[in-house]
Structure 1
Amino acid sequence: MGTDHGTELKLLRPEEFDQWWNHLYRAFGGGPASDEERELDESLTEFDRTLAVWDGDAVVGTSGAYSLRMSVPGGALVPTAGVTMVSVSATHRRRGVLTSMMRRLLDDARAAGEPLAALFASEPAIYGRFGFGAATFQVNAEIDTSRVALEPPAGADGVRVRYAAPADVLAECEAVYAAQVPARPGMLARQPGWERSVLLDPESRRGGASPLQCVTAERDGRVTGYARFRTKSGWGPGGPEGTVSLADLAALDPVTAGALWRFLFGMDLMTTLSLRGRPVDEAWQHQVSDIRRCLLQPRDAGHIRLVDVGAALSARTYVTPVDVVFEVEDAFCPWNAGRWRLTGDAKGASCERTDHAADLALSVRELGAVYLGGVSLLSLAAAGRGRELRPGVLTEASVAFGSPVAPWVSHGF
């Protein structure tokens, strides 16, 4: 498939992977990557969904998609194109390379019957024009555990926390993770092979810290949670100044979660707990003695695009009964444009084409932003991104689209 300025878009062949991967890493700054990372990336690559743009014998653009399943409000796992590895050579900007790749990726997702596409945006300003909206957010924190205490729920003393080699308890930890997926919109069901990614531990990722460590939490002889982390020792004039960097934590119940957080807050010789990419509504934020000294820093995370408006809106449930007609604008995927009538409640939903008068007008980007329940239609309309055409419907729809649990895309791709 040709693109502008003589470049050619083709599916990547396995024997071309090294050249493709080297271009990708150069485009993202040329940071060091281990053989272990390269091997894992290659093993997870779906070559029938991975694209290369060539200028002669040089790769000038990369992209691809993973066949994922994402949890949506109501707990259904919806087929999702996980858009990934997107890069364009600095020598080929503004030549239509990215547009040609996004066109192919979204057309392929539609052909595969995937109602959703998702991505993590290295530069969020790029993807709005392709219909992606920022739908999930996450929190980073740097917690001064020498001055911040954590009080877990009653019963945490009965939870047994013990060290284990990460690989030795992988099956038990993956069972905990899998049980959580339907409960929080945005979480990804772990596809075969992806369990290896949680154990990836090249020295280049450690920043001088220890190899990956793991503790499991047990109640009544059963693993009900885990935490994976690294530690980095440090000493100052006043004594120890070590740092715990959390890689992952999951728990089946609040008591187990509280016991794990207490463990992380109380490790000897450690005075900082560093968190990256955690859900915005985790309970530990209400268990700490001083939230200001946790230095919370929110940021956008998963960006969602509705590939098939009808199928996507039919796949989730709604907090309160909803009956609304959307006038949808979608210039990049015109099959979505026009009027859609959504009817649904907490038990299920249907979204079909209609000739009825529209109640709300908005673009597919806004639908992507609100789809998982973490962004309010009212807020978007106040920003000028959406128009209420029937008085009162904006509030009704905003409530219906909400989620009692903040959406969170649980791992990168």
Structure 2
Amino acid sequence: MGLEIRTVTESEVADWVRAVNRGFHRSQTISPEEIGIMRAGYDLERTRGAFDGDRCVATFRSMARDLTVPGGGSVRADAVTNVTVTATHRRRGLASGLMAADLAAARERGEAVSILIAAEYPIYGRFGFGPATWVTDWEIDVPRAGLGRRHAGPDPAEGTVELISAAEVRAVGPALHERVRTRTAGAISREAGWWDRATGASVLPSFGFKEPFFVVHRDLAGEVDGMAAYEVNDPHWPGKLPNADAEVRWQLAAGPAADAALWRYLLSLDWVVRLRSGHRPPDDVLPLLLGDPRAARTETYADFMWLRLLDVPAALSARGYAPVAADLVLDVRDPAGLSGGTFRLETAPGDAPRCTPAPSAAADLTLDVATLSRLYLGDESVLRLADLGLVTEHRAGAAATADHLFRTPRRPWCPETF
């Protein structure tokens, strides 16, 4: 019957979920209960599949999210997930077709950017995406960390740390996350279901759930300004010596005092000799909190959230820049025809930045949309990409000006896997 790419109907959700599981090498046996739980989180207008007759052979889904950008503003983002192609149907353009349909719809909805977590590096550059945030995971050798028992743990002069229940997490977590999200470039909004899944109120049977410990930090006024979830694995004790591992599932802190207090608490847990940090910002202060930063061994340092600009004027006007007066004309190439053109970016101290189409202006820099997307959150150097031939300078000094404008003092970070 041929291959057809389209949105998924209600009656096709179960087949679509099984196709997702095939793509991720998971079980094909899925209960109606589990499919119902998953369906509750889907917007079918944003859920697409490729069908070979009645069989779903490729999947694609997106979600609306708010993305924090440098300067504290936000843009509406098209968050892409569940991208799979069944092994029997590769090399037929299905991923390209699904991506093109979603990006066109996102552009029509007025979403300024599209974002995703790339499972494999080489895939998404051809669709105009670039790596916009990075992530680091550390394993900390606790005995070597240099936090003696007298100095470990939170400082009561800066607040208190306490264990709380899952229900309390659901009550206070969303407000804390939004507080952290709006001050963290690269962070995205969470839907209510995230908290249900993170606390065991909603469990997918095939994934199961092991309840972690939940801990909060309260400032001197009693307000929650930090939170973490962690678990401890206490294996056999060789030679009757403690040998437990602790793993941080997630940690949020609205300020440096809460951040430090939570890490000191986690590093002072009885019997724990190894602490895995979970995903952290690539320039996190965590190793520098230790008496011996070498005790934090890097397990992962990798690209994480990829971004694609869909509306260049809206996206570039929404973020903040270095407080200097500048006038840059960017010639942006987009083979997909979604967001290319010539644009003037104007900044001045005290004034809101402005990016407008400038089709007749002479370009200062030429670059493709994937390269500009890579620069958007401030994590990459214009000069470095120019050395790679990805940015062409037409006016002397324009690349250095752009580098100064776009770079941020702290690196962007996306705490979410979506």
What do residues 352-411 of structure 1 show as CA deviations (whole Å, max 9, x unaligned)? 121111111110001111101111111211222111111111111111101222211121
Confirm or deny: 8 A CA contact 1:62 1:88 kept in the other structure.
yes
1:356 counterpart (357, 361, 372): 361
Q: Which residue of the partner structure matches residue 245 of structure 2?
A: 243
Helix, strand or coil for the counterpart of 1:295? strand
Change beyond 3 A, Cα 1:219–1:32: farther
Match of 1:336 among 336, 339, 363: 339
1:118 corresponds to which of 96, 115, 118 = 115
Q: State the match for 1:163 in structure 2.
A: 163
Q: Which residue of 2 aligns with 1:19?
A: 15
1:221-300 to structure 2, matched below 5 A, reads 221-238=222-239, 239-296=241-298, 297-300=300-303
1:44-63 matches, cutoff 5 A: 44-63=41-60
- Give CA-to-partner distance per residue, 1:74-124, whole Å, 9 cap, x none: 211211000111001111111111111011000000110001000001112
SS at match of 2:40: helix
Given that residues 173 and 225 in structure 1 are in contact (C-alpha distance below 8 angstroms), is that contact kept between their aligned partners in structure 2?
A: no
> 2 CA distance for matches of 1:378 and 1:58?
48
Q: Show CA shifts across 1:117-171 (max 9, x none).
A: 0000111211000000000001011111122135789955542111111222322
The CA distance in 2 between the partners of 1:152 and 1:323, in whole Å, is 51
Letter in 2 for 1:235: H
Change (3 A) 1:95 1:34: closer
Q: Distance in 1 between matches of 2:384 and 2:208?
A: 39
Aligned pairs (5 A) from 1:14-413 = 14-30=10-26, 39-150=36-147, 155=155, 157-200=157-200, 211-220=211-220, 221-238=222-239, 239-296=241-298, 297-321=300-324, 322-332=326-336, 334-345=337-348, 347-354=351-358, 355-413=360-418
Deviation at 1:203, TM superposition (A): 8.4
Distance in 2 between residues matched to 1:19 and 1:231, nearest whole Å:
37
Secondary structure of the residue that 2:389 maps to in structure 1?
coil
AA at the equivalent of 1:412: T
TM-score, structure 2 as length reference: 0.91
SS at match of 1:168: helix
In the alignment, the residues of structure 2 paired with residue 17 and residue 91 of structure 1 have an alpha-carbon distance, to the nearest angstrom, of 20
Find the residue that maps to 1:298 and give its secondary structure: strand
CA distance in 2, matches of 1:110, 1:175: 30
Contact 1:133 1:369 in 2 (8 A): yes
The letter of the residue matching 2:233 is K
Residues 255-264 or 154-163, more deviating: 154-163
CA distance in 1, matches of 2:28, 2:59: 19
CA contact (8 A) 2:250 2:279 kept: no
**Matched-pair contact (CA < 8 Å) for 1:184–1:405:** no
* Count of residue pairs brought into register by the alignment: 406
TM-score by length of 1: 0.92
Contact 1:115 1:308 in 2 (8 A): yes
Partner of 2:3 in structure 1? 7
Aligned CA distance change for structure 1 residues 223 and 337 (closer, same or farther; 3 Å): closer
SS at the partner of 1:176? Answer: helix
Q: 1:152 to 1:135 in 2, by over 3 A?
A: farther
**Contact (CA 8 Å) 1:74, 1:317: kept in 2 or not?**
yes
1-structure distance, mates of 2:94, 2:311: 24
CA contact (8 A) 1:156 1:259 kept: no
Taking structure 1 as reference, are residues 37 and 168 closer, same or farther at Cα in structure 2, changes over 3 Å only? farther
Q: Which amino acid counterpart does residue 56 of structure 1 have in structure 2?
A: G
CA–CA distance in 2 between the matches of 1:204 and 1:54?
A: 25
Structure 2 unpaired stretches of 5+: none
Taking the aligned partners of 2:391 and 2:4, their CA distance within structure 1 comes to 38
Q: Which moved more, 1:6-15 or 1:152-161?
A: 152-161
User: What is the CA RMSD across the aligned residues, in angstroms?
Assistant: 2.3
| Matched residue SS, 1:193 | helix
